[in-house]
Amino acid sequence: MRRSRHSPRRGAVLIAAIVCLVVAMSILSTMVAGSLTQRQQLASEKNARQVALLVVAGRDRAIARLVDDSEYDGESWRPTIAKLEATVEVRVARRTDGAATVAVTATFPADGPRVVRRSQIFTIPASKPDPQE
């Protein structure tokens, strides 16, 4: 009975090829997982930036409305940004000294797995009468 001299070598080459494939697959899966994590982080950062801009818009809108209407007590609105709904709530509380405390809360997107919410509270001093009037 004759034995082939190449059969142990063939088995070793097959094992080396399988080990190389396993190593390549583990490197590839690590790279894909890192890419997905980075994508999620970028989406969260984008949402955080968007909600910060919404808070500033709410603050500016509240100031403008308070200048025009002394009875303004706040509002809510739902802008649509990149096909996603956001919510902005403005609440105004009058103080005894005539100043107004304004609370602005923005949420983006309005619903979903990665909702970002930010609030800002600020005070607008009481307006003083114009001496020329």
Q: Per residue in 8-29, pLDDT tens?
A: 677 888 899 999 999 999 999 9
Residue in 78, 80, 98, 99 with CA at minimum distance from that of residue 90: 78
Residue in 60, 108, 71, 102 with CA at minimum distance from that of residue 88: 108
Domain borders along the chain are 7-124
Quote the pTM value: 0.70
- Predicted local confidence at residue 2, as pLDDT: 58
